[in-house]
Amino acid sequence: MLAEGAPGARGMVSLVGAGPGPADLLALRALQRLQRAEVLVYDRLIEPEVLALAPAQAQRIYVGKAAGNHAMAQEQIHAVLVEHARAGRRVVRLKGGDPSLFGRAGEEVQALRQAGVAFEIVPGISAANGCAASTGIPLTHRGLAHSCSFVAGHLADERQSLDWAALARPGQTRVFYMGVARLGSIAQRLIEHGLPPATPAAIVYDATRSGQRVLACGLERLVQRAATPAARPGLLIVGETVALSDHFEAPACVAVASGCAAT
């Protein structure tokens, strides 16, 4: 946690990771901050059960973003956070997953620091960790994957934006955020740079939620089976560790629906 100021104090912003979905996957500190919030600035895909943990009287401000549809520009979000913190309120900036992993926490921290506003970062279970736990796909595994790369999948359309040669090297797991809609481009780039077309790969929709859905097979085959993107966002995982999951089926690809009830 990076903190400046007394944690949970008035006139402070807590950048809180909401985790991959269900409220029972929140960190204890995240729960404490939510329960004391006076202003809740929250992203898209935050579950209603998580939002309900904040006091009923807390002001709720939706700032969610979808492709081509942003409820509020990033600079406006900065201004909202600064305004309410300067007014002496306890502000919770609630983000899905972990705020520092494709959550733009760095930009918001810079804005808060420049404005002289106290802040803290409360980590959350990332989407990648949630997928790994709920599907049985380890992100690293001795003898198969000695490293894991988290990649912004929306950059796949720009050939020069990513080091595809490095991503195609063996011995690693690749997790593409915001990349399901660009699965074809991602697969093409990886295969062009030497990744075998049959490399195990998976798309996980609604990870850790009751409606979780998994497609898991060879990468080239996955492109064919996932030709129609689902309405909900998903995470793309590419690497040999995918084959360790019970969801993986070779050579055919099947869709597997699985509940994630706590045991």
Q: Which residue's structure tokens are 């089926």?
A: 249
Is residue 157 domain-shared with residue 175, that is, in the same domain? Answer: yes
Q: Which of 122, 147, 182 is the last residue of a domain?
A: 122
Is residue 168 domain-shared with residue 246, that is, in the same domain? Answer: yes
Q: Which of 59, 94, 122 is the last residue of a domain?
A: 122
Q: How remote is the C-alpha of 67 from its chain's centroid?
A: 15
Of 24, 43, 157, 163, catalytic: 43
Asked whether residue 112 is assigned to any structural domain, the reply reads yes
pLDDT score of 150: 96
Does 95 participate in catalysis according to the annotation? Answer: no
Does the pLDDT value for residue 263 go beyond 80?
no
Does the pLDDT value for residue 114 go beyond 90?
yes
Identity of the residue numbered 213: R
pLDDT score of 259: 47
Asked whether residue 138 is assigned to any structural domain, the reply reads yes
Asked whether residue 37 is assigned to any structural domain, the reply reads yes
This prediction's pTM: 0.88
Average pLDDT of the residues in 54-62: 97
Is residue 90 domain-shared with residue 176, that is, in the same domain? Answer: no
pLDDT classification of 233: cutoffs 50, 70, 90: confident
Is residue 104 domain-shared with residue 190, that is, in the same domain? Answer: no
pLDDT score of 231: 62
How does pLDDT run across 149-165, given as a tens digit for each residue? 999 988 777 666 799 99
Does the pLDDT value for residue 23 go beyond 50?
yes
Does 65 participate in catalysis according to the annotation? Answer: yes
φ/ψ (deg, to 5) at 241 = -65, -20
Query: Given the DSSP bridges, would you call strands 254-257 and 213-218 parallel, antiparallel or unpaired?
Result: antiparallel
Angstrom distances, CA of residue 170 to CA of 43, 193, 196, 199: 35, 11, 10, 10
How does pLDDT run across 79-90, given as a tens digit for each residue? 999 999 999 999
Both structure tokens of 77: 């979000």
Angle among Cα 113, 107, 1 to the nearest 5 degrees reads 65
Asked whether residue 262 is assigned to any structural domain, the reply reads no
Average pLDDT of the residues in 197-214: 94
**What CATH number corresponds to the domain at position 155?**
3.30.950.10
What is the rounded distance in angstroms from the CA atom of residue 1 to the CA atom of residue 39?
21
What is the rounded distance in angstroms from the CA atom of residue 156 to the CA atom of residue 181?
10
Both structure tokens of 232: 């909900």
**SS3 of residue 149 by DSSP:** strand
Is residue 91 domain-shared with residue 168, that is, in the same domain? Answer: no
Domain that holds residue 250: 127-257
Of 24, 65, 98, 163, catalytic: 65
Q: Which of 122, 157, 191 is the last residue of a domain?
A: 122
Query: How long is the chain?
Result: 263
Is residue 61 domain-shared with residue 18, that is, in the same domain? Answer: yes
Does the pLDDT value for residue 69 go beyond 90?
no
How does pLDDT run across 5-14, given as a tens digit for each residue? 666 677 999 9
- Split into its structural domains, the chain has a count of 2
Asked whether residue 263 is assigned to any structural domain, the reply reads no
Both structure tokens of 25: 């996957």
**% of the chain with per-residue pLDDT over 90:** 75
